[in-house]
Amino acid sequence: MPMIKTRDGTSLYAKDWGEGRPVILLHGWPLSADSWDDGALVLAEAGYRAIAYDRRGFGRSEQPYSGYEYDTLADDLADVIQATGAEDAALIGFSMGGGEVARYMSRHGGKGISQAGLIASVVPYMLKTDDNPDGTPQDTFDEMTKGMKEDRAKFFAHFFKTFFGISLMDHPTSDDEAHHAWVVAMQAGLKPTLDCAKAFATTDFRPDLASFRVPTLIVHGTADKTVPIDASARAAAAGIADATLIEYDGAPHGLFATHKDQLMADIKDFLAR
């Protein structure tokens, strides 16, 4: 620690705070493990071992040219679990990180995991198709790709306002929080940023849902414009056998900042079951 070497030789930056039952925290796109800092501190102070790491291509982890599809990302997670010796762990993924939770549960049989959490997660399927009518149209993702390629800094300045629900009339978190997220996003590689956006937009996790064989907490905001709730949390709750869905009325996507006290209270309640 703090660097963990994956099976393909990529170095991942990891944090390991506190002692007790492990809680592994997976961050969203295009951020880093730092987005979980407030929550990790709460968990460590509550007697848990909070483990968080920067996804390959993001934060302080290495930026290889490839490996940004969910099979490899789930393998990275398996390598982190093995390196940290985490057992009887809770696995909690925010946004894109929820996909890693789902793919780990299916690809690695949920080894070492006794509880799961999907927070504002992309699971089970974001893309609008004939059999997923509540999904997001491909044109939306095409426009995102175009914006990032043309002027990534400008794109993310706008993106994080929507992400945190910031407008002229509503400030659920500060402009400074959005700026900090922008700084972190700009530290990621462009290739990882684009590839991961494609991965979370197009990966169908519906076949993975049956692999959730542990109690699963699902938390989502009803006003989430980044990952709309109907095709994500509500569909996931319907497809996971032992799921508890908590909806935050009027909440945007970035719950770890806009609703951090409520979110961590709900996570701690869930962990204590």
Burial category of 247 from C-beta neighbours within 10 Å (exposed 0-12, middle 13-18, buried 19 and up): middle
Give the separation between CA 80 and CA 13, rounded to whole angstroms: 10
Going residue by residue through the chain, which has 273 residues, state the pLDDT in tens, using 9 for 90 and above.
589 999 999 999 999 999 999 999 999 999 999 999 999 999 999 999 999 999 999 999 999 999 999 999 999 999 999 999 999 999 999 999 999 999 999 999 999 999 999 999 999 999 999 999 999 999 999 999 999 999 999 999 999 999 999 997 889 999 999 999 999 999 999 999 999 999 999 999 999 999 999 999 999 999 999 999 999 999 999 999 999 999 999 999 999 999 999 999 999 999 999
**What is the H or E stretch that residue 157 is in?**
helix 138-163
Prediction pTM value: 0.97
For the chain, domain boundaries = 3-271
- For 69, residues 6+ apart whose C-beta sits below 8 A from its C-beta are 195, 199, 203
The pLDDT value given to residue 1: 58
List residues with catalytic annotation. Answer: 95, 224, 253
DSSP class of 13: E
Give the separation between CA 272 and CA 141, rounded to whole angstroms: 38
> Which of 3.40.640.10, 2.60.120.700, 3.40.50.280, 3.40.50.1820 would CATH assign to domain 3-271?
3.40.50.1820
3 state SS of 149? helix
